[in-house]
Amino acid sequence: MKIINIVGARPNLMKIAPLMEAYADYPDIESILVHTGQHYDDRMSDLFFHQLGIPEPDINLEVGSGSHAAQTAEIMKAFEPVVLEQRPDVVLVVGDVNSTIACGLVAVKLGVKLAHVEAGLRSFDRTMPEEINRILTDAISDFLFSSEQSGVDNLLREGVPKEKIFLVGNVMIDTLLKYRSKAEASKVLEELGLEPGGYAVLTLHRPSNVDDSSAFERIFNAVEVIQRDMPVVFPIHPRTRKNMEGSPLADRMHEARNLRVIEPAGYLEFLKLMSSARLVLTDSGGIQEETTILNVPCLTLRENTERPITVKLGTSRLVGSNTERILSAYKDIMAGRIRRQGTPELWDGKAASRIVRILVEGRSLSGRRTT
């Protein structure tokens, strides 16, 4: 059984790592790793391969950045000859980035079965590029692997046959549980002069927050207040850095003495930073899940989430980009009023092995129709 696995952007890497490991238990599986090159900076890609022990990609499409249409189209053009040459039984995509839908479309149009890991998540906000990618990828997938029950419910509501849907748990949490103790040994707190439990972590990269200067300003107004109480570490995403350069807020950011803007962190360093933080402020999807397991309060700087379990059971609270809401939730955290209610079902470190077993057992489904 030949499986082509796709990575493109940073959050794909911690999802693919446990799958690459799980394939090793099946000598009959030939797994090929394709990197689209959507993310290409060392700190957004290579560092994660190294820290997570992901094998070098067999093929790198080196597509790089571009508008949505250009990036998606370039990935499709570059991936099609790979599928034609390799003739895989399954193409496996993870998450909701442009690489996910681009490679998914190529696969199904060549008659190759498509597996989607993290299927069914819905923010119900179609202004998010990721929501479009999620809906379209799920509509064409043959194996839909969901990380939480809401994903299964959404897919059933959309008319996906239940035989195609599998609740398997969360591959990102597989990686977190595996590397948690290694991350503990990181010296990042000492290097940044931080005390465990005595600082906040901030990440921001959603276009709705960082391409819109008024939203960024509203968030920053709250961060400015919080950093008077404790250091705020801000590993800055390349999109955010670009938008900040030359913006009127850049000066205010420099003046905020306790705001520590640092380069994008490695996986282990970031895991250590999160696990020892007093709180995390983020617009990332994955970090809502990771803080749930780490039991660290998380203020989600979005109006909605495709991961409702993190709000229901975890420590995530939706606060949007509204200064007052952020500060009011911050006060709740400081008063100990945000706590975890439980652990999501199957977030136990075994999601990848469940997925691979299902792919192997579903082999009869995977008739090869590549022309």
Q: How far is CA 159 from CA 7, 156, 198, 300, in A?
A: 28, 5, 48, 30
The answer to whether 38 contacts ligand UD1 (rule: CB under 6 A) is yes
Decide: 107 and 114 in contact? Cβ < 8 Å. Answer: yes
Residue 39 or 272 having the CB closest to ligand UD1? 39
Nearer to ligand UD1, 239 or 325 (CB): 239
Residue 325 to residue 238: CA distance in whole angstroms: 27
Q: Tell me which stretch binds ligand UD1 (CB under 6 A): 78-86, 95-103, 116-124, 140-148.
A: 95-103
Task: Using the minimum distance from each CB to ligand UD1, give the nearer residue, 97 or 103.
Answer: 97
Block residue for tokens 């479309």: 105
Judged by CB under 6 A, which stretch of 32-40, 110-118, 160-168, 338-346 contacts ligand UD1? 32-40
Instruction: Report yes or no: 103 and 9 within 8 Å, Cβ to Cβ.
Output: no
Q: Please report whether residue 26 would count as binding ligand UD1 according to CB under 6 A.
A: no
- Cβ burial of 126 (10 Å; 0-12, 13-18, 19+) is exposed
Q: How far is the CB of 207 from ligand UD1 (least distance, A)?
A: 7
Q: Is 63 in the site for ligand UD1 (CB under 6 A)?
A: no
SS3 56: coil
DSSP string, 289-314: HHHHHHT--EEE-SS--S-THHHHTS
Site residues for ligand UD1, window 200-229 (CB under 6 A)?
205
Number of residues that bind ligand UD1 (CB under 6 A): 19
Measured distance CA(276)–CA(184) in Å, rounded: 9
**Applying CB under 6 A, which of residues 15, 35, 39, 260 lies at the interface with ligand UD1?**
39
- Cβ closer to ligand UD1: 25 or 42? 42
Say whether residue 164 binds ligand UD1 (CB under 6 A): no
Residue from 93, 94, 97, 102 in contact with ligand UD1 (CB under 6 A): 97
Find tokens 């706590």 and name the residue. 339
Task: Name which position in 11, 120, 320, 344 contacts ligand UD1 (CB under 6 A).
Answer: 11
Classify residue 319 by burial, with Cβ atoms within 10 Å: 0-12, 13-18, 19+.
buried
By CB under 6 A, name the one of 129, 153, 249, 252 that touches ligand UD1. 129
Nearest CA to 263 out of 51, 102, 94, 41 is that of 41
Active site residues: 205
Q: Identify which of residues 86 and 304 has a Cβ nearer to ligand UD1 in the complex.
A: 304
- Residues in contact with ligand UD1 by the rule CB under 6 A: 9-11, 38-41, 44, 65, 96-98, 129-130, 205, 237-239, 242
